Amino acid sequence: MPTQPATMTVAPEAPAPQPDTGGSDFAQLSRRIAAEGLLARRHGYYAARAALVLAAFVGGWCALFALGDTWWQLGLAAAMSVVFAQIGLLAHDLAHRQVFSRRAPSELGGRIAANLLMGMSYGWWMSKHTRHHANPNHEERDPDVAPDLVVWSQRQARQASGLARFIGRRQAFLFFPLLLLEGLNLSFNSFRALRGPAVKRPWLEGALLVAHFAGYVGLVFAALPAGKAVAFLAVHQALFGVYLGCVFAPNHKGMLMVTPEMRLDFLRRQVLTSRNVRGGLAVDAVMGGLNYQVEHHLFPSMPTPALGRAARITRAFCAEKGIPYYEVGVVRSYREILTHLHRTGEPIRSGG
């Protein structure tokens, strides 16, 4: 049986149902969202957000040389891990055309942010992320729950072998330590993908990746002695991976795992496999709006600042339709992830 969180909450207060004007449940919800103007682009918001992130990026490299030969540079490495992750979140919004409606500027901005500034292949990630959105938490179709190192369902655990089986025995304890390597994993897969069909312009993306790492490593070694430079890179990459993992993991991990025999319409497939994370403006900023994961999956091109209002509408709509809509606080989201990982590893521990 697929596992779900222990409790599923339906919004306690919902407005009176609006007249049904026909169509699927998702079509009805879409009409309400469109009527509020929530799909309109927010160019001012993204201009300000991009300016702040770029200022932090440039300021961080200036601070690297200003601080000089000191171990305080490791604090800067931690701060720059946050900046890099925020660039990644901006690249995510560009990929979903939340910033621009047209493909060309979205791809241009995405490649600059992802490849050049962050060091991740835009084309590879876009291909993988598109498949994830089409089939979230599907055991066979969602690449984000492929049992490479971690198993996400007991069915996967029973079929696991090699390293996945070894890690699966204690994966709840190893989950956060493994995130320390996620930054390196993204870089490795980005270069490897240049030889595959996912990247449509491999020479361009490859050149941007090489330019990124030449500048990234070159600046650190130019500013610091070798030992401190290596330490800076290690801390930066480790915390960068942890930050990204902590942003993306609460979105689906521990929610309904979809198997091939399940038949879910689009609305239920997206809502039942997604978890929203409460926490106010601080969580909104840290997670780049991905804490509204239900709404993001239903309306991927919706700009980040519209997601909060969309969540209130969607929550009420799900209450009308009797669809479980799940949201929790930050701490509980991670507790549920670790509980799910421990539960899914049980067949391996028991020899199943």
Shortest CA distance to 288 belongs to which of 338, 335, 251? 251
Residue 13 lies in a domain: no
59: domain range?
25-349
Residue 9 lies in a domain: no
Residue 190 lies in a domain: yes
Q: How many CB atoms lie within 10 A of CB 325?
A: 22
Residue 31 lies in a domain: yes
Supply the pLDDT for residue 352.
64
Supply the pLDDT for residue 16.
35
Supply the pLDDT for residue 23.
78
CB burial of 275-308 (b: ≥16 within 10 Å; e: otherwise) equals bbbebeeebbebbbbbbbbbbbbbbbebbbbbbb
H or E, element range at 327: strand 327-328
Global pTM value: 0.90
Residue 325 lies in a domain: yes
Residue 11 lies in a domain: no
**Total structural domains in the chain?**
1
Supply the pLDDT for residue 40.
96
pLDDT in tens, 132-167: 999 999 999 999 999 888 999 999 999 999 999 999
Supply the pLDDT for residue 12.
30
**CA 21, CA 317: separation in Å to the nearest integer?**
14
Supply the pLDDT for residue 4.
42
Residue 199 lies in a domain: yes
Supply the pLDDT for residue 21.
53
Supply the pLDDT for residue 351.
81
Which residues of the chain fall below pLDDT 70? 1-22, 352
Supply the pLDDT for residue 81.
98
Supply the pLDDT for residue 148.
86
Residue 18 lies in a domain: no
Supply the pLDDT for residue 15.
35
